[in-house]
Amino acid sequence: MNRNFNKLLQKKWDEGKFLCVGLDSDFEKLPNSVKNSSVKSALIKFNKAIVDATFDLVCAYKPQSSFYEAYGSAGLEALKETVKYIQKKYPDIPIILDAKRADIGNTNLGYTKAIFDDLGFDGVTVNPYLGEEALLPFLKYKDKGIIVLVKTSNPGSGEFQDLVVAKTKQPLYKYVAKQVSKVWNKNGNLAVVVGATYPSQLKEVREIVGDIPILIPGIGAQGGDVLKTVKNAKDSKNQGMIISSSRGIIFVSSGKNFAEAAREKAVETDNQIRNSLNG
């Protein structure tokens, strides 16, 4: 099946879906009801339950690679099986690997083969620090979503991202947003990452990038406000957002009802997004 990230995402937006559930499935935090087996089996069982409980509410799923890489081959096999499960049972939902990859071009060739050709992801987060030339192996995948870090949600993001670039007299995050949207986006498959924890910067980036997608982490456990996020991030069509919540949804309950509890929280978040759009 030929999967195109932009087309899959647009279909979900047209359905009014902007919530991305992050499958940050930290084994240590998994409910005991799924931990009575191997790491691989537990991760797969947990992910399947979360996906089955939330599939009709989301525009995307986003596993964080570290929670799988931490367990070596077992974790990576669980990650691969999770992707296969979603693509087989819910083929219209795009899947993003939150990997924040960055390296020189030859190394990135290996990353692209692993992420797209082997694991089968539809999109990936990347770090712009090494420049466009180094990211060319990613950028050449025209059907994949290449999502570039611009203003991340963590408290210390300003250490470098807020530094003023002498060339433009603007903060670095604005310069990166401009480069990504105006220079690098030759195939129309780029997106940017801006944290919900920085609503004013989110608005500034939207004004710079136009209607390209913005992946927005930071709601839920990190405290980002949904109303401010939607107000500042929506594009000219009242779309353009991939609003991600991970721990705030998948770990709401540690009991046997974890999937049902995750769905309740996902419904609540989805309603907040919809109300914010209509408000």
Q: Give the residue numbers annotated as catalytic, written as ranges.
A: 100
Give the Cα separation of 55 and 72 in Å (integer). Answer: 28
Q: How many residues does the chain have?
A: 279
In the block, tokens 């570290």 appear at 66
Quick one: 48 exposed, middle or buried, by C-beta within 10 A (0-12, 13-18, 19+)?
middle
Rg (the chain; Cα; Å): 18
Give the Cα separation of 214 and 195 in Å (integer). Answer: 9
Q: Are 130 and 148 in contact (CB under 8 A)?
A: no
Query: What SS3 class is residue 217?
Result: coil
Query: Running DSSP on this structure, what letter comes out for residue 29?
Result: G
Give the Cα separation of 61 and 9 in Å (integer). Answer: 11
